[in-house]
Amino acid sequence: MSPEQEAEHTWENSSATSSDAHITIKDLRKVFRRDEVETVALENFTLDIKKGELITLVGPSGCGKTTILRLIAGLIEPTSGDVRINGKPCTQPGADRGMVFQDFALFPWRSVRKNVEFGLEVAGVPKEERRERAEKYISLAGLDKFIDARVHELSGGMKQRVGIARALVGHPDVILMDEPFGALDAQTRNIMQVQLLKILEKTDQTIVFVTHSVDEAVFLSDRIVVLTKRPASIKEIINIPWPRPRDRTDPEFAALRKKILTELEEENVMNN
């Protein structure tokens, strides 16, 4: 039996729903309208996510992965269906959700500490409390020695660690990560994936992670949601059974990565 065939006995397709959901997405549809032209970005999207899960969305380019994040964030409204966190509708942005972006979205003239403190400052958290909380997450991100450095002095990987610390410091229930390591070189990207897992070991946030890298998805995820081409719907949900950290050279890892890549290629071919 080949490694690919053996791996098929290990992987397990997952139901899109569960009884103890932290995030509930039901019958979601999103249509964008511009100059009397309608674009259906999302269709019949239903997914439940458990507390503390790291869920990764993968799919063809432009299929609607970021749209899903923006709907969970409350930055845009669905055309129909709804998104709920702990049973409450996500109709607008809230402190229960934090976002990490691909382009860092930091203030280059501010220090690491001041960037991490920013959301707390806006929320009116007292100076000493926000300083203490910022230092805790800066330490978790491994940036103690750079706490007073200006962001423009940092490498790309270090900037992204600042972004992660800033997202975590407000104690949100949910972290939304939109291609957070996409702008980094391959070596730094791998290092950041390991760093992210180390940080998450010490927190209990639920993570929804968008990536174009199937390797990254298999390395990080509890479950991978494979999407169809636009309008996005769920093609398959795959449970990852292996504990972390994972060995990228393991035959089962490689076989699962190949399986997902093949599905994405088929999706592109079928819809072109």
Contact 239, 227 (CB under 8 A): no
pLDDT of residue 183: 82
Whether 213 and 110 map to the same domain: the answer is no
**Proportion of the chain above pLDDT 70, given as a percent:** 92
Q: What are the backbone angles phi and psi of residue 159, rounded to the nearest 5°? A: -60, -40
Mean pLDDT to the nearest integer, 208-233: 95
pLDDT digits (tens, 9 = 90+) for 31-80: 999 888 999 999 999 999 999 999 999 999 888 999 999 999 999 999 99
Q: What confidence tens digit (pLDDT) does each residue in 70-119 have?
A: 999 999 999 999 999 999 999 899 889 998 888 778 898 899 999 999 98
Q: What's the confidence (pLDDT) of residue 116?
A: 94
Asked if 78 and 180 sit in the same domain, the reply is yes
**Judgement on whether residues 138 and 201 belong to the same structural domain of the protein:** no
On whether residue 97 sits in a domain, the answer given is no
| Inside any domain, residue 98 | no
Q: What is the pLDDT of residue 12?
A: 63
Q: Is residue 96 part of a domain?
A: no
Residues 162 and 182 in one domain: no
- Whether 166 and 177 map to the same domain: the answer is no
Are 230 and 214 in the same domain? yes
Please write down the long-range contacts of 240-245, taking CB distance under 8 Å and 24 or more positions apart: 240/11, 241/10, 241/11, 241/12, 244/197, 245/194, 245/197
3-state secondary structure the chain: CCHHHHHHCCCEECCCCCCCEEEEEEEEEEEEEECCEEEEEEEEEEEEEECCCEEEEECCCCCCHHHHHHHHHCCCCCCEEEEEECCEECCCCCCCEEEECCCCCCCCCCEHHHHHHHHHHHCCCCHHHHHHHHHHHHHHCCCHHHCCCEHHHCCHHHHHHHHHHHHHHCCCCEEEEECCCCCCCHHHHHHHHHHHHHHHCCCCCEEEEECCCHHHHHHHCCEEEEECCCCECEEEEEECCCCCCCCCCCHHHHHHHHHHHHHHHHHHHHCC
Q: Structural domain tally of the chain? A: 2
Residue 113 maps to a domain: yes
Same domain, 11 and 70: yes
Q: How confident is the model at residue 266 (pLDDT cuts 50, 70, 90)?
A: confident
For residue 92, being part of any structural domain is answered with no
CA 126 from chain centre, in angstroms, equals 30
Listed residues 138, 172, 206: the one ending a domain? 172
- The reply to whether 157 and 183 lie within a common domain is no
Domain ranges, residue 73: 1-86+173-187+194-272
Decide if pLDDT at 122 tops 70: yes
Question: How confident is the model at residue 247, as a pLDDT?
Answer: 94
Do 231 and 129 lie in one domain? The reply is no
- Mean pLDDT over 134-144 rounds to 90
CATH, residue 51: 3.40.50.300
| Same-domain check for residues 262 and 216 | yes
- Same-domain status, 158 and 182: no
In a domain, 231, yes or no: yes
Same domain, 265 and 177: yes
Domain end among 123, 139, 172: 172
For 20-32, how does the pLDDT look when each residue is reduced to its tens digit (9 = 90+)? 789 999 999 999 9
